[in-house]
């Protein structure tokens, strides 16, 4: 599966199916909201999907809650099922921006299978590149501001190590498909946002609602 322009004769993208990937502290949650709004597609974050299904008492949510209450991690199979269910909703018909999924190569395969079954494919994978020291500094500052005493530098470093071990390698797979737009994530919110839109524009991906950004 290879990249394909989603623009129509230089106009706004007819569909926009994006992933946004980066280490904790890269700002992907904030940038994801901006990009999704500009393209008129939902930002789909796995954490939100879990919470919405649990609070809504759905069958999937009950399965998630039982696993969490048992102190276990939600398995890839169930996570992928939750994502498929969310992407099948009407508001995601013409696109989405996925944040927090896929996290590993198994989930990449699950997402590939789902998109192929619908005759769809990703338009771009936005990689927010931030040095490890910068991520640690941002997360440490956030922990101080939010009074999260359990977020020590050791805990933060461990989370980053998990990202580097499990999630970062999926970028190699997407890079081989020509999908990765690597963005320098250091700078002001506006500077990073401008870099994202400039990189997407080169790929023929123009937001339908640029003023929303």
Residues flagged as binding site:
25-30, 46, 51, 72-74, 100-103, 107, 142, 148, 159, 187
- The contacts of residue 3 (CB under 8 Å, 6+ apart) are 121, 122, 123, 124, 177, 178, 179, 203
CA triple 70-150-34, angle to 5 deg: 90
> CA–CA separation, 97 vs 109, rounded Å?
18
> CA–CA separation, 182 vs 171, rounded Å?
10
Annotated binding residues for AMP, written as ranges, equal 46, 51, 72-74, 100-103, 107, 148, 159
> CA–CA separation, 121 vs 97, rounded Å?
13
- Phi/psi of residue 21, each to 5°? -130, 140
Check if the beta carbon of residue 136 is closer than 8 Å to that of residue 160.
yes
> CA–CA separation, 163 vs 2, rounded Å?
25
């Amino acid at each position: 599966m290879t990249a394909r322009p989603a623009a129509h004769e230089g106009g706004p993208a007819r569909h926009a199916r994006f992933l946004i990937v980066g280490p904790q502290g890269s700002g992907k949650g904030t940038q994801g909201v901006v990009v999704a709004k500009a393209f008129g597609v939902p930002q789909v974050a796995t954490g939100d999907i879990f919470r919405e299904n649990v609070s809504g008492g759905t069958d999937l949510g009950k399965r998630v809650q039982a696993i969490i209450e048992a102190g276990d991690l939600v398995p890839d199979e169930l996570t992928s099922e939750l994502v498929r269910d969310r992407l099948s909703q009407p508001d995601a018909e013409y696109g989405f921006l996925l944040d927090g999924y896929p996290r590993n190569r198994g989930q990449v395969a699950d997402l590939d299978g789902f998109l192929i079954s619908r005759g769809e494919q990703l338009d771009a994978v936005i990689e927010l590149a931030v040095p490890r020291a910068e991520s640690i500094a941002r997360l440490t500052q956030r922990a101080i501001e939010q009074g999260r005493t359990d977020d020590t530098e050791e805990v933060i470093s461990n989370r980053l190590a998990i990202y580097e071990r499990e999630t970062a390698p999926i970028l190699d797979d997407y890079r081989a498909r020509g999908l990765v737009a690597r963005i320098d994530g250091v700078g002001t919110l506006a500077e990073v946002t401008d870099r994202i839109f400039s990189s997407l524009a080169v790929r023929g991906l123009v937001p339908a609602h640029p003023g929303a950004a």
